[in-house]
Amino acid sequence: MPWTALLLLLFAIGSGTSQTPTPDQARRHQRVTQTETIGRRQDLNSLKGATLFTGPRFNPNKPVPLLIHFHGAPWLIEAHAARYLQKAALITVQLGAGSSAYRRPFEQPELFRSLLTEAGQALSIKRGWSSITLTAFSAGYGGVREILRRPEYFALVNNVLLLDGMHASYSPEGKPLAEGGTIQPSDIDIFVTFARAAVAGRKTFVVTHSEIFPGTYASTTECADYLLTHLSLKRRSKPSNGSKQSNGPMGMQQLSTVDAGHFHLRGYSGNTAPDHVDFLHAMPAWFRLLRIR
């Protein structure tokens, strides 16, 4: 995905910072081969860039799990869903670069409800949504965050999966933690609230992150640490044969783990663009942590 690599390069140039690639960069980055998955597709009128997909085993006469994914090639997410979530309906939302591209549309109070309604009517589902799962890669977290900020939608969402995508501004703006800055609470507190509900067993929240450090805004690692601090949770290292690393999905190297109730955090090594894209291709590895019913 060249657009992802380009964005990361621009982030590094724009911030005036750079990272020394970790040894993890030398490993082979496995990729799913692009194919067109068999199924039904329909563009949704509620939001330009939103596409509804169902596979051959979809049954509208039974309660239907709904997965809404933000950011990333729709063909890849469709392939994941068709193979691992065969009875689910999928909405992919691809709106371009930057978290604001995903945040702004959902500042319209009725948009999320309209998407749910339009998708249900298009599929002629008879018994409603059995669960609603929001997933996001990279900048897509902006859409998830904006949806969760509305209490009526927070109540509807059962599961959230963030794939190396939870960021926040520094305060003062652009001042990293190492230089005395702090994380802007308003950018992340709704994720803290959802994480608390997950620890209590009322929601499921899966957070994954790399070691990429953008420089001018908080990294996914820093935001994950912010969550853990407010939840009074600590990471556990994942040793393997005496090493600080262990095997993760598709050859990724897992460094840490947190499991508390239905809150799950997985930290991985790597600070390059291919390390970032790994999360999208390995997405099904974390489906088992979600309660998609």
Give the pLDDT confidence of 74-88 residue by residue, as tens digits: 999 999 999 999 999
pLDDT level of residue 239 (50, 70, 90 thresholds): low
9, part of any domain: no
Residue 165 within a domain: yes
Q: What pLDDT is attached to residue 238? A: 72
- Burial zone of 224 (CB within 10 Å; 0-12 exposed, 13-18 middle, 19+ buried): buried
* Phi and psi based region of residue 124 (left: phi greater than 0; alpha: psi -120 to 50; beta: remaining): left
- Is residue 167 within 8 A of residue 154, CB to CB? The reply is no
**pLDDT tens sequence across 5-58:** 434 433 432 333 445 555 555 688 999 999 889 999 999 999 999 999 999 999
Q: Does residue 251 belong to any structural domain of this protein? A: yes
Residue 60, pLDDT above cutoff 70: yes
Q: How many domains does the chain have?
A: 1
Of 20, 40, 33, nearest in space to 91 by CA: 40
Q: Is residue 31 part of a domain?
A: no
Structure tokens at 215: 């420089």
What integer best gives the mean pLDDT of the chain? Answer: 90
Q: Quote the crossing angle between the two packed helices 141-148 and 189-199, to the nearest 10°.
A: 70
Instruction: Give the model's pLDDT for residue 20.
Output: 57
- Kindly tell me if the per-residue pLDDT of 180 is higher than 70: yes
Where residue 270 sits, what CATH number does that domain have?
3.40.50.1820
Can you say how many angstroms the Cα of residue 38 is from the centroid of all Cα atoms in its chain? 24
Question: How far apart (Å, rounded) are the C-alpha atoms in residues 136 and 286?
Answer: 12
Residue 226 lies in a domain: yes
pTM: 0.90
pLDDT value at position 255?
A: 95
Residue 24 lies in a domain: no
pLDDT tens-digit series, residues 114-164: 999 999 999 999 999 999 999 999 999 999 999 999 999 999 999 999 999
Residue 174 domain-assigned (yes or no): yes
Structural domain including 56 reads 39-289
- pLDDT at residue number 269: 94
Whether 131 maps to a domain, the answer reads yes
Tokens of 261: 């109730």
Rounded to whole angstroms, what are the CA distances from 240 to 126, 128, 209, 248?
48, 44, 19, 11
